[in-house]
Amino acid sequence: MTVDIDIDIGNTRSKWSIASGSNNVVVGVTAKPIAVVASEIAANLAEHGMDAAAVSRIRVACVRSQQEKDALASALHGAFAVAAEFAQTTAEAGGVINSYPQPHTMGVDRWSAIAAAARLMRAHAEPRPFCIVDAGSAVTLDFVSAAGVHCGGYITPGYYLQLKALLAGTQKVMAGEQASVELIAPGSNTSDAVHVGIAASIVAHIERSVAQFQMAQGSPPRVFITGGDAELLQGLSSLPMLYRPHLVLSGLAQLLP
């Protein structure tokens, strides 16, 4: 049986799914350099008793430079003898009309997540607006009306970019690198105050933005959340959000059917 590979290359992490037929066999993730992604996937295949020669298709959503894309394409071809297909942001996909006058300037990861969420909405026959929160290196919010029109979005620094910027720009503010926020409440030490403050600012941004969108649309949107910090933020917000960790990967089937 043939094997298909979908890959999501983000700014910090790379994720992939390996599917045989209609069943996902394995989902992997690595924070290692993009240069070793092909070998990491090949190792996953071997672990599950699959031959690299069985790979028939590779689809990729990549937000890196063209040089890195070219290197990745070469490595994937060397590992699997298959030419990788790189998704692009388009004016329309999955029944959604892009609001960008120049669609190619929108990150393909955002567009892929939008297409995946639109498919989920259609599957549940929900003609209502929706929002996607992608909490990765950057926190992105994208809004789509019930009519399937992209209504724009926001891009802000993610949790660890905010933490890195704060610690680099101050001399006496110190905090641990790992988030351990369980409740948004004033911290009783500097490290807690830093982590709670960052989390609170991101959650407040999400909640206010969704509330404004709801007012503009006249009905509550369905909110999807994905990305490395999704579970943390979902647990801190009072806003109902559906956690879909592989939204970008899922959208590749809509962008490259």
Kindly provide the b/e burial profile for residues 58-93, where b requires at least 16 CB atoms within 10 angstroms of the residue's own CB. bbbbbbeeeeebebbbebbeebbebebebbebbeeb
How do residues 63-115 score in pLDDT, each as one tens digit? 999 999 999 999 999 999 999 999 999 999 989 999 999 999 999 999 999 99
Distance (Å, whole) CA 90 – CA 103:
5
Per-residue pLDDT at 123: 87
Asked if pLDDT for residue 193 goes beyond 80, the answer is yes
pLDDT band at 195 (very low <50, low <70, confident <90, very high): confident
CATH superfamily, with its number, for domain 92-255: ATPase, nucleotide binding domain (3.30.420.40)
**Beta-bridge mates of residue 7:** 16, 60
CATH 3.40.309.10 holds for 3-86: no
How do residues 158-192 score in pLDDT, each as one tens digit? 998 998 888 888 866 666 666 666 777 887 788 88
DSSP state of 149: B
Residue 134 near residue 227, CB atoms below 8 Å:
yes
Known catalytic membership, residue 6: no
CA 111 from centre of chain: 10
Per-residue pLDDT at 23: 63
Domain residue ranges in the chain: 3-86, 92-255
Contacts of 185-191 with CB under 8 Å at 24 or more apart are none
Distance (Å, whole) CA 196 – CA 180:
9
One of 4, 6, 8, 109 is an active-site residue; which one? Answer: 109
Distance (Å, whole) CA 75 – CA 164:
32
92-255 shares the fold of 3-86: yes
Stated length of the chain: 257
Per-residue pLDDT at 91: 97
Nearest of 113, 135, 82 to residue 252 by alpha carbon: 113
Asked if pLDDT for residue 237 goes beyond 80, the answer is yes
Look up the pTM and report it. Answer: 0.93
Environment class of 181 (CB within 10 Å of its CB; exposed 0-12, middle 13-18, buried 19+): buried
pLDDT band at 233 (very low <50, low <70, confident <90, very high): very high
DSSP state of 141: E
